[in-house]
Structure 1
């Protein structure tokens, strides 16, 4: 069962603002609606009662005239619009509108009127809301009822309800937008810190967060910049220390190498002594190689250029790398003649030579080297005939002193692929390992194309 992804801080702030705006707008809408509704209903009932008193008085006066019946009286009354008059006399009902059901209209007030009381009530006839006023006509033995259809009031309340609902929706949206703006303003310094941290992790160690005058955020930005300064200072110190140590070791290593060379040329040594000297010479060579790799990594970490950057033909770099890597066997090379990059020749050539040397040491030998342009980068593939690299090890092999699948426990310094990765990063490129079609390992070095090559249609492959 997969867990639901959690919302971010910005989403929570926006939701909180929107929920608060919705709650406030609903409270205001309901209070406004019911207050206005109560006021309008009271006013409408008061008007209906006043009109009913006037009309009932007219009917009562006319019924006191001898020879006048109820039907004639109802015909003489000028009734208001959407109003029906009912008169009950001597057990007989008289109505000015034959479509109005007598029982539905008078059921709520009939009992009070029979007891001689004036009554007013709301009733529903069909789907219409009506105000019913009942008035006993003392002295003429009749009861007067006036039924008024409150169409204007119903329409007014519906319109007001719709307007308040729309206002509540707009207020909620406005609250959400306000929350988004507030979250954006509040989280902007955190975003700047996150972007700065990402750039620093990518190698841009000179990145800093801009200072702010906000007292609540000044501590955050100041602490972050101080932390970065401390880390950079420590890295520089470590790099200088490693470079100094490596440089100081070069002289004794050279002396030892020369001395062992002299001993290896001495024919008077016994077989056991000659074997020991050869072993020391091999280990010293490994030590010298590791020392040179450490010096190279120190330069790459410090961003030192070993030669001027220039436009380079990838085909020439591959040929030189195969020679530097010590490979003299058959290998398939497929590199476009016009594929060019802009880089440090010595560093890129050494990185390619390290890939070739890695294939020879760990992958059974290079089988193919091919390159192509993909988007705005040149991808150089070095394919070997080995068993490949397990997927879980394809990132770890670029760590320093990492060895995976070496032929011997002491083979190589474990720094070759780290140098390749550092070189790629220094050139705003990347390197990765994947499985080749033949089953071996395919190491891909991706470097930015030269500015002129990027506009060449034949090299712009997507």
Structure 2
């Protein structure tokens, strides 16, 4: 199957258009200039040759009328112009002022017209050189006069002018390309600003706007873009407030239901079937409460709300606190440098690590190891489980909201835990991803920027 060639970008098309336009204009001007100048120079050269030939022919005719004077003597008396050969034919015999000029080749283009009594002028390449041949019949003396002028200087002039015009056309084309590049740069600058603003907005910087311009042709673009962003931000704020309000309003009935179910669970008079129903309701309510808390957390993260003051956090202490809270046993391998530090919101980072540990315990067959290291200005915290791992096709989708892997019947968890981890990482200018562990399980990597002091120390160590 043949591959389609890549499509050219707008800048390339603009540059190519300017260059092609400059080439077309320069070629039109070059051809027009060349042929106009060539016609003028040739006409002037022919006029001069014809005038000179008339003068010399009149002199030869006058001398031949003198009794006792032959053609050879007459040719020796006249002084033709430089690079000009004089030929005279009388009584079927040819006489020449230059024995190197082939008579037949030089005069054959005009001989017939001269024999018919007409003045003729022609160009030929006798002797592989450009010549102007003028033939004049000398009536009254029975002779024909020819002048062959070597026009090498005219040919050289035309060649030089052609080369100069070709170079000028090439330079004009290059200049047109440069002008097109500059014009494309100026034209695409606002589009580039819009693209950069869109990229920053997609990265979460919702206060980014395109700078206003006085250009009336671009003001509509920048104004429309800023208005669109304002509308989107307003809609996001509205949705966030709506979700927060709904979550807040749901907390009260959920708390009431939890309390009521707690009372029912302690009632010894319930029948076995009623007790089973109450236990099922309590489990589902607990899942609902967890999902509600996760939704509230995601709403805060989406809004960029800080839950505590950012500070320098020791990764070793965070991991120890999370593992103690999760109640993992001594079978978990922990390898975290004591001096590894990050800068962020303690509550949010703690929650993200707790979600990774909970995910390993609930869906990954159990937590096996937690280790961390500094890499390229970031602290990479690895949470490894003993499960079957995550298929490569699912390693990005599992961070989507309400995404679950495994069997369709699996209903444990809200499906928001890993989304909270990803949102927390983005809020801290970090990232999170999943890969296959050396043991075959899943290895979730949470990468967060090092604290400034730790980053400086790491830089000195590398140096």
Fold-level similarity (TM above 0.5): yes
Q: Which range moved further: 188-197 or 235-244?
A: 188-197
CA RMSD of aligned residues (A): 2.4
Residues 130-141 of structure 1 aligned to structure 2 (within 5 Å): 130-141=131-142
Deviation at 1:156, TM superposition (A): 1.5
Structure 1 residue 330 displacement after superposition: 2.3
Q: Following TM superposition, by how much is the alpha carbon of 1:50 offset from its aligned partner in structure 2, in angstroms?
A: 1.3
Residue in structure 2 matched with residue 319 of structure 1 by the alignment: 320
For the residue of structure 2 that corresponds to 1:116, the secondary structure is coil
Match of residue 100 from structure 1: 101
Aligned to 2:184: 183
- Superposed CA deviations along residues 324-383 of structure 1, whole A, max 9, x for unmatched, are 445335233333333322211211121122122222222222333333333233322223
CA contact (8 A) 1:314 1:340 kept: yes
Q: 1:116 to 1:341 in 2, by over 3 A?
A: same
Alignment of 1:22-421 (within 5 A): 22-328=23-329, 330-405=331-406, 409-421=410-422
Counterparts of 1:406 and 1:316 in 2: how far apart (Å)?
36
| Residues 377 and 458 in structure 2, CA contact (< 8 A), matched pair in contact too | no
Q: Which moved more, 1:285-294 or 1:367-376?
A: 367-376
Query: How far apart in 2 are the matches of 1:98 and 1:368?
Result: 108
Instruction: Provide the rounded CA distance (Å) in 1 between the counterparts of 2:413 and 2:242.
Output: 23
Query: Structure 1 residues 74, 238: closer, same or farther in 2, change over 3 A?
Result: same
Does structure 1 retain, via aligned residues, the 8 Å contact 2:247–2:296? yes
Shift of 1:413: 0.4
Aligned residues of 1:327 and 1:356 also touching (Cα < 8 A): no
Q: Distance in 2 between matches of 1:39 and 1:332?
A: 96
CA contact (8 A) 1:373 1:461 kept: no
Q: CA deviation at 1:67?
A: 4.1
Aligned residues: 462
How far residue 267 of structure 1 moved from its aligned partner, in angstroms, is 4.1
The answer (yes or no) to whether the contact 1:362–1:407 under 8 Å persists in 2 is no
Which secondary structure does the structure 2 equivalent of 1:74 belong to? helix
User: Would the alpha carbon gap of residues 324 and 88 (structure 1) be closer, same or farther in structure 2, given more than 3 Å must change?
Assistant: farther
| Alpha-carbon displacement from aligned partner over 1:398-452 (angstroms, at most 9, x marks no partner) | 1111111269521110001111111111111222223334333232222222222
Taking the aligned partners of 1:105 and 1:460, their CA distance within structure 2 comes to 91
Structure 1, 163-172 or 269-278: larger mean CA deviation? 269-278
Equivalents in 2 of 1:166, 1:190: separation in Å? 36
Alpha carbons of structure 1 residues 103 and 445: separation in structure 2 relative to 1, 3 Å: farther
Q: Distance in 1 between matches of 2:97 and 2:347?
A: 110
C-alpha separation between the residues in 1 aligned to 2:44 and 2:37? 11
Of stretches 11-20 and 263-272 in structure 1, the one that deviates more from structure 2 is: 263-272
Taking a change above 3 Å as real, the CA distance of residues 264 and 459 of structure 1, as seen in their structure-2 partners, is farther
Q: Cα–Cα, structure 1 residues 94 and 433, in superposed 2: closer, same or farther, change >3 Å?
A: farther
| Cα distance per residue 1:87-140 (max 9 Å; x no partner) | 222323233333322222112111111112111111113442211111222233
Q: CA deviation at 1:23?
A: 1.5
Contact 1:453 1:459 in 2 (8 A): no
- Could you tell me how far apart the structure 2 residues matched to 1:127 and 1:364 are? 96
* TM-score, length basis structure 2: 0.92
| Separation in 1, partners of 2:72, 2:439 | 109
Partner-residue secondary structure (3-state), 2:131: strand
Separation of aligned partners in 1, 2:326 and 2:32: 84
**Aligned-pair CA distance for 1:206:** 0.8
**Bigger shift: 19-28 or 399-408?**
399-408
**Contact 1:427 1:447 survives alignment (8 Å):** yes
In structure 1, the residue corresponding to 2:130 is in which secondary structure?
Answer: strand
| Counterpart secondary structure, 2:101 | coil
The TM-score with structure 1 as length reference comes to 0.92
**Unpaired segments of 5 or more residues in structure 2?**
none
Q: 1:181 to 1:116 in 2, by over 3 A?
A: same
- Distance of 2:323 and 2:172 partners within structure 1: 70
Partner Cα distance (2:372, 2:97) in 1: 99
Measured at CA, do residues 452 and 72 of structure 1 come closer, stay the same or move farther in structure 2, by a change above 3 Å? farther
CA contact (8 A) 1:361 1:407 kept: no
Kindly state the Cα deviation for residue 269 of structure 1 after the two structures are TM-superposed.
Answer: 3.5
CA contact (8 A) 2:120 2:135 kept: yes
